[in-house]
Amino acid sequence: MFGLMVNLWVIEIGTICNEKQIHFHCDAVQGVGKLHIDAQDLNVDTLSVSAHKFYGPKGIGCLYIKDLNKINPLLHGGSQEKGLRSGTENVSGIVGFGVAAKNALRNKEENLNKINGLRNLFLKGLSENLVDWQINGNRSVPSTLSISFSGVRGEALAFALDQLGVCVSVASACSSSSSKLSHVLVSMGKSKEEIRSTIRVSIGKQNTSEEITTAIQAISSTVNKLRSFSNTFRTVKANASGKY
């Protein structure tokens, strides 16, 4: 949900759900460590977080529950997790989560400043080297970009970039195994062609300006090469210039 910054929407939805006595769960995995998130301010009933999104260990997360009395346990037999989930806790994962969360909070501004700088460098480079591309969504966390390149299939672009040592994805990891069009982009009014030409670019605190420059060069050259084979792109450009 927080790949695009929808804090105000979350607050509004939470208020409506609260008035109608509807349980409201918020997936905040993409936002923690990148945005200011207060579960009480958001007016949610439950909120989920995953450590690997802020450089913690994989396989560990947490669930904020506003009212424990409204949640029934899925597993019975033990008192772990306040009686909601029996079974031995992942102690090492919990410790790793805690350390990562502390570091994410302490270094959030520094990390965001660096990531914002790399993001701006990346977008400036694309603007100088490519035409006919757009960012999907006008507000997003600085570390994640959803970009459509007209006349290019996202899968072909991602595969070609992988051969050049640049890793991007055609969808979020949780839905990349599905061949269906992204319901998020559909709800944003994107056309089938725009959705199929979309890749996701992620930038982290460990990336460097040199890596960003390499990515710009690889994406620009690959997009132009793929477009040279694209009848769709040539037709669109010809129509735009009035040749047909």
79 backbone dihedrals φ, ψ, rounded to 5°: -95, 5
Report DSSP letters for 141-186, one per residue: -TTEEEEEETT--HHHHHHHHHHTT---BSS-TTTTT--SPPHHHH
Using alpha carbons, select from 42, 4, 41 the residue that is nearest to residue 25: 42
Residue among 17, 26, 62, 174 flagged as catalytic: 174
Residue at 178: amino acid letter: S
CB 73 within 8 A of CB 84: yes
Query: Any catalytic annotation for residue 174?
Result: yes
Check: CB of residue 200 under 8 Å from CB of residue 170.
yes
CA–CA separation, 80 and 114 (whole Å): 40
Distance in angstroms (rounded) separating the CA atoms of residues 159 and 100: 32
- Distances in whole angstroms, Cα of residue 146 to Cα of each of 13, 31, 72, 172, 204: 24, 15, 37, 10, 15
Catalytic residues: 174
